[in-house]
Amino acid sequence: MSNATNISPAKSRVEMRCQDAAERITNFKEVALGYSLEEAVSEAKRCIQCKKPRCVGGCPVEVPIPQFIAAIAEGNLDEAFRIIKSTNSLPAICGRVCPQEHQCEGQCVLNAKQNPVAIGRLERFVADHFIALDACGQMGEITCRLTDPNVKVACIGGGPSSITVAGYLAARGVKVTVFEALHEMGGVLVYGIPEFRLPKQGVVHKELNALTELGVEFKTNCVGGKTIRISDLFEQGYKAVFVGVGAGLPKFFGVPGENFNGVLSANEYLTRINLGRGYDFPNYDTPAYRGRNVTVFGAGNVAMDAARWALRLGAESVRIVYRRTKAEMPARKEELEHAEEEGVILTELVAPMEFHGDDKGNLKGVTLQVMELGEPDASGRRSPKPVEGKTTYLDTDLAVIALGTKANRVLLEETPELKLNKYGYIEVNEENETAIPNVFAGGDIVTGAATVILAMGAGRTAAKVIAKRIGVIED
């Protein structure tokens, strides 16, 4: 790494290489290819090392950003990794799926020239370097004295928020058990986010393995509220419980014909493909739905993921159908750009009125209500309203509904002591503690569907409080 000094700072943000669009829709491999050492060092040298860095304030898990970037600029990747890992258990994942444009990079002072430091890409570069060495646990070693082995903490749900709690506490010598309902750890990282954005074997499993090396115990096939109840966990000697069960229940439109075969939630579509490895059917047993003319309803990141999978599974046409316009789409710009490059068609200002099926109940088309934009609503986005009497018809044999989710009630129904807000999500105080003492919650089950990094931030907040409660010395 000694030649890092010979690399000059990049003049503007260094682009990350990607698989070519025509090529990548014929495979399931990761689209973005990451930085080389030279690219990373030259990008790192663009950072002006602000005295009062705003980027850190934009990061829900408070990664010491200027410090790790300075280490990269010096070619000291060990140090860069140690700094990142001091607050972030899952850097290879965050470097890939965080909406940095709204967080760290959104706060970067170079943003004034639309040229923020590519913090996410740098984080990914550092994490990937250690993943390639199969050493992502190496820097996460226990930094505190071991606490009493009887002081143990349980996390219900195996997604980003719980994993963060586990990582934080395990690094401080606390015994943590994570209970996951599905057969594989990771939550949305595994069932929701596609292989081509976040490789499972190559990235997710490796970051989880690092936690296993720290002593975190993962128990799959354990449903909170069904297999185990919160009260059981306290009886078993757990001193605190973190609930990070995710949002869950998919929303549907409630229009006629929605139960025809071929109309499915994005959760079903993606879970079959991602968790079930349905893209590799029949080598794997879980079949994926394959459509010829696919319509995806919704315009968030999940909709983009579904549309891009449909292309990779051989669809002739894939359309994102949205009731507003491109400008209002909630998906990350990068995801939308990738989808369009790959050939996804955007159909704006329409909403489904009725799905139509053949005599066997299989979807064949959809009638759409034409919409127009009205006044801005509470969220500041111009709200769509129907153009009276104007409809269109679209042939489609697979409709994926990506409208978001509601609170999954499985754990909540079995735990009536948890207080819920008016949307059915768990109510917590500023320390992320629920109405039950020593039971904390975070992630989508508190906020409703949000991002991986916000869930991780919530987990970190709760973990700090739990650490104090159970008597772990703070560093």
Partner 1 sequence: MPSKILHKKELIPGRTSLMVLDAPEIAAAAKPGNFVMLRVDEKGERFPLTIADTDKKNGTISIVFLVMGKSTAVLNSMKAGDSIADLCGPLGRATHIEKVGTVVCVGGGTGIAAMHHIAKGHHEAGNHVVAVIGARSADLLLFREELQSFCPEVLIATDDGSVGEKGLVTEVLAKRLTGDKNVKEVVAIGPVPMMNAVVKTVDPFGIKTTVSLNSMMVDGIGMCGACRVSVGGKTRFTCVDGPEFDGSQVDFAELTQRLASLKAQEKTSYDQYTCRCQSHE
| Residues found near partner 1 in the complex (CB under 8 A) | 181-183, 191, 219-223, 226-228, 248-250, 252, 254, 258-262, 264-265, 267-268, 271-272, 276-277, 281-287, 289, 360-362, 408-410
Nearest residue (CB) to partner 1, 114 versus 283: 283
Smallest gap from Cβ 407 to partner 1, in A, equals 10
Nearest residue (CB) to partner 1, 411 versus 462: 411
Q: Which of 205, 178, 263, 267 is nearest to 449 (CA)?
A: 267
Nearest residue (CB) to partner 1, 226 versus 468: 226
Query: How many alpha carbons lie under 13 Å from residue 380 in its C-beta half-sphere?
Result: 3
Nearest residue (CB) to partner 1, 44 versus 155: 155
How far apart CA 258 and CA 265 sit, in angstroms, is 10
Smallest gap from Cβ 236 to partner 1, in A, equals 11
Nearest residue (CB) to partner 1, 17 versus 409: 409
Smallest gap from Cβ 436 to partner 1, in A, equals 20
Smallest gap from Cβ 227 to partner 1, in A, equals 5
Smallest gap from Cβ 408 to partner 1, in A, equals 5
Smallest gap from Cβ 39 to partner 1, in A, equals 38
DSSP letters spanning 437-452:
TTEEE-THHHHSS--H
Question: E strand or H helix at 129, and its extent?
Answer: helix 119-132
In degrees, rounded to 5, the angle at the alpha carbon of residue 353 between the alpha carbons of residues 351 and 358 is 120
Smallest gap from Cβ 361 to partner 1, in A, equals 3
Nearest residue (CB) to partner 1, 286 versus 383: 286
Question: Which token pair is 438?
Answer: 């020593």
Nearest residue (CB) to partner 1, 15 versus 285: 285
How far apart CA 265 and CA 281 sit, in angstroms, is 20
User: Are 319 and 310 spatial neighbours (Cβ–Cβ below 8 Å)?
Assistant: no
- State the helix-helix crossing angle for 301-312 and 266-274, rounded to 10 degrees: 50
Q: How far apart are the first and last CA of the chain?
A: 30
User: Are 166 and 187 spatial neighbours (Cβ–Cβ below 8 Å)?
Assistant: no
Nearest residue (CB) to partner 1, 213 versus 280: 280
How far apart CA 178 and CA 120 sit, in angstroms, is 27
195: which DSSP letter?
Answer: T
Query: How many alpha carbons lie under 13 Å from residue 217 in its C-beta half-sphere?
Result: 9
Smallest gap from Cβ 176 to partner 1, in A, equals 17
* Cα-based distances in Å from 110 to 95, 143, 305, 416: 19, 35, 30, 49
